[in-house]
Amino acid sequence: MKTRSIEVIVPPPAPHYVGDGFRVHNFIPNGYHLDRHRMTPFIMMDYNSKFVFPPSEQPKGVGVHPHRGFETVTLAYKGKVAHHDSAGNSGVIGEGDVQWMTAASGILHKEYHEEEFSKTGGAFQMVQLWVNLPAKDKMSKPKYQGLTHAEIKTFQLPDNSGTIEVIAGQYQDVKGAASTFTPVHLQNAKLNKGGKADFNFPSHYNTALLVIEGSLKVNDTEVAETDHFVLFENDGEAFTIEALENAVVLVLSGEPINEPIAAQGPFVMNTRQEIVQAIDDYNQGKFGYLD
């Protein structure tokens, strides 16, 4: 097994607001020209690094907007987000929870700070990923997978190194509960200081880390600080991380979807024509209605 080398470690790009409730660093596709093809199937990654929101009577967030053609995966590390959609679903994503929403043929939703959290304010830290769908599944039925922290299966690392929470894919013999359309590994490594973990994914899978807490040594060589993004080359399978202090790391690796990408705003399809269709369908109310 060959070691997967580090292509680059990058600090968080300047933040911007999504709505008024998400102060995010965009790593994919804008931050470092990690375009949608480079990190496919991960076609967007916004990271709300830990940020303290003051109390607000009016919950902050993002108003009603559509999606079509991919999945949104929201991981809450601090704070709580409430969501509602045009299919009548609603819920709260709390600390440690993951919401895996398959927008597919189309959904309208809105995401706000949960009411009580909004009133008290506090530390807020989230990741939102967009995972592309292959052309054949883009117009499939929308669905949700809400994984509470308690439902996420964990692998205990030896030597009190820590745990790997497997959201999707597999770590050793532990399989993630989230079902995916193409092979995707999404895991939170929670390491104690000095703890080590080895990972092993097929070399052609696009693979990266986001350091949520603490700092790491990767492959015994380079150090990745908090909020930094580690992009790996596709030149090997195996890599190692070691926590220099207690650390939380999001590990993502997925089989590329090598199909054309046409993207505009909240729609990611294969052709320009499909984008025009998506806009028209949205305008005509074919995504439903949400207040």
Query: Which of 245, 280 has the CB closer to other proteins?
Result: 280
Q: CA-CA distance, 287 to 85, in Å (whole number)?
A: 10
User: In this structure, what DSSP letter does residue 54 have?
Assistant: P
Closest CA to 71 of 164, 168, 166, 206: 168
- Beta carbons of 75 and 98 less than 8 angstroms apart: yes
Question: CB 284 → other proteins: shortest distance, Å?
Answer: 5
- Beta carbons of 73 and 21 less than 8 angstroms apart: no
Closest CA to 268 of 141, 104, 111: 104
Q: Copy the structure tokens of residue 12.
A: 């968080």
Query: Which of 160, 289 has the CB closer to other proteins?
Result: 289
286 near other proteins (CB under 8 A): yes
Query: Which of 67, 83 has the CB closer to other proteins?
Result: 67
Among 112, 124, 229, 282, interactor with other proteins by CB under 8 A: 282
58 near other proteins (CB under 8 A): no
Q: Would you give the binding string for other proteins spanning residues 126-155, x where CB under 8 A is met? A: --------------xxx-------------
Give the contacts of 97 (CB within 8 A, at least 6 positions apart).
75, 76, 146, 147, 148, 149
Query: Which of 134, 285 has the CB closer to other proteins?
Result: 285
- Beta carbons of 227 and 11 less than 8 angstroms apart: yes
- Beta carbons of 89 and 142 less than 8 angstroms apart: no
Element (H, E) at 196: strand 196-200
Question: CB 64 → other proteins: shortest distance, Å?
Answer: 9
Q: CA-CA distance, 196 to 117, in Å (whole number)?
A: 34
291 near other proteins (CB under 8 A): yes
Q: Would you give the binding string for other proteins spanning residues 205-244, x where CB under 8 A is met? A: ----------------------------------------
Among 80, 113, 266, 268, interactor with other proteins by CB under 8 A: 266
**Contact range with other proteins by CB under 8 A, out of 32-40, 62-70, 118-126, 180-188:** 62-70
Residues near other proteins (CB under 8 A): 63, 65-66, 86-87, 105, 140-142, 264-266, 276, 279-280, 282-289, 291
